[in-house]
Amino acid sequence: MADVPTKTARAEWGTRFGFLMAMIGAMVGAGNIWRFPYVMGNNGGGAFVLAFLVLLFLLAVPGLMAEVALGRYTNKGVIGAFRDVVGRGGMVGLGVVVLLVNIALMSYYSPVIAWTLYYAVHSLLFTFTQPGFEAEPFMLGLFDNAALMIGLHTVVMGSIAAILALGIRRGVERIVVYAVPALVIALAVMTIRGLTLDGASEGIAFAFTIDWAFLTYSDTWIAALGQALFSTGLGWGIALTVGSYLREYDDVPLGGGVFTAIGESSIGILAALAIFPIVFAVGIEPDAGAGLAFVSLVEVFPEIPLGGLVAILFFVGFFLATFTSGLLITEVSVTTLAEETRFTRTQTVLGVCGGIWLLGLPSAYSVDILDYLDFVFGNWGLPLATLMIIGIIGWVMGPERLRLLAVNQNAGIHVGRWWNPVIKYVIPTVMLFIMAYFAWENFGTAEMIGGMLVLVLFPIIGYALMSVIEGRGEQPDTADLTGGDD
């Protein structure tokens, strides 16, 4: 176990509200606005919501507390935090694994943001309510137009780079404190409009009526587990990075755990309430799957009064959700690499965003490549990253040490010893289960082979890269490298 970390001068969140909006903005993305409603529709509606909330507060909230607390305790990005916990040496390469997974994630998430940008622009042009509009050919036309997708991917990464270059307060915080409330307002207005439609009550009943039989199905719990972990980004380095910019007296259990989970889950449920009343009012099946947002819902906008306005609210909100999460995902690499190199923050932003843009070209070119990468990293890469972060807390640093030194420091609520076994045993076991489950379910497939390559190669690459990073010696001593703000 390394000594107590040395605090370095760096930017901080300007307000607690800014920190909370950054946390929620990072967690709320395609997983809430797109994935939550269709997974909910496939798994019993209210039963799925109950299973999701149980797992969210049993697993994700304690994990988020740990990750945020580690960031504030070390006051560093991913690799610096690992170094402070394990000391210099090969195990710091486990932090590199988290960074590699994070970069890979953003490389195929940027084209997803590009989809929402395209739909948001066309909603503002009232394309979806034009006579003769057909939703499925419109979507396929986007996916099949490689030049357009690459162009949109370029716009997304360019916009993210421009904001990140401004720093934590003047860039990231200034965006999230407006974007997240705007998303909530858009979904709330859309929900109110949907509730006024004939037949909308059936959508509300579907969302809140619990069919207890679904809670006996393993598929419901597997889906809820995936949603609870995927939508919060637990263990991806995001919460650690956001927490590293916390002020010393800010609250971890409430801000980093409970309030974030409440905000994140509320937006997912609000998205379902915005969608399902409309779905039932016009007779769409709630289990329409992944096409629910991009095809089924788009087809009904011309059929409802003020459908053009509803389309604007939904797709602009959808874009804001994906863009803010993409912003914070990218910040993980920017913060870490700015600390580990002698480049300025602006240079690091350009290098990181340029690299992600380059790696994202295959996913922008082909939706099949995007789907493959999403499956591989969603089922093996991201659980591996979570295992790395929660693993060093649980088995190297010790959860009791972190609980006393950081989690309960200036805490509005006291976290008891129950937290320790959740971090040390439960979450790592769940991560191992997820990776083993999907390996078994996909045994012998190209996806399973890709997953095994990630599990083997990323740690090897991490150890190899650390020989270069550790050889750099002293860290650059400038606040600009870690936050970009005065």
Return the domain boundaries, the chain. 16-473
Q: Buried b vs exposed e over 143-164: b needs ≥16 C-beta within 10 Å?
A: beeeeebbebbbebbebbbebb
Amino acid at 447: E
Distance CA 218, CA 2 (A): 42
| pLDDT for 5 | 58
Q: What is the pLDDT along the chain (486 residues), one digit of tens a residue?
A: 555 555 556 788 888 889 889 988 888 876 777 778 778 877 888 888 899 999 999 999 999 999 999 998 999 999 999 999 988 777 889 999 999 999 999 999 999 999 999 999 999 999 999 988 888 899 999 999 999 999 999 999 999 999 999 999 999 999 999 999 998 888 888 888 778 877 778 878 877 788 888 999 988 999 899 888 888 888 899 999 999 998 877 777 667 778 888 888 888 888 888 887 877 776 666 655 556 678 777 887 888 788 898 889 889 988 998 999 999 999 999 999 999 888 999 999 999 999 999 999 999 999 999 999 999 999 999 999 999 999 999 999 999 999 998 888 877 788 899 999 999 999 999 999 999 999 999 999 999 999 999 999 999 999 887 876 665 554 444 444 446 654
CA 223 – CA 316 distance, rounded (Å): 27
Question: What was the pLDDT predicted at 288?
Answer: 56
Q: How far apart are CA 456 and CA 467, in angstroms?
A: 18
Q: How far apart are CA 484 and CA 348, in angstroms?
A: 11
Q: How confident is the model at residue 230, as a pLDDT?
A: 81
pLDDT at residue 477 in the model: 44
Phi and psi based region of residue 80 (left: phi greater than 0; alpha: psi -120 to 50; beta: remaining): alpha
Contact predicate 402/73, CB 8 Å:
yes
* pLDDT of res. 305: 80
- Whole-number pLDDT of residue 338: 93
Helix, strand, coil fractions of the chain, as percent rounded to 5:
80, 0, 20
Share of the chain above pLDDT 90, in %: 53
Residue in the block written with tokens 């720093």 = 167
Confidence (pLDDT) at 478? 40
State the CATH architecture for 16-473.
Answer: Up-down Bundle (1.20)
As a whole number of angstroms, the distance between CA 247 and CA 72 comes to 8
Instruction: Render pLDDT for 163-184 as a digit per residue (tens, 0 to 9).
Output: 999 999 999 999 999 999 998 8
- The per-residue pLDDT for 375 is 92
Tokens of 137: 């050919």
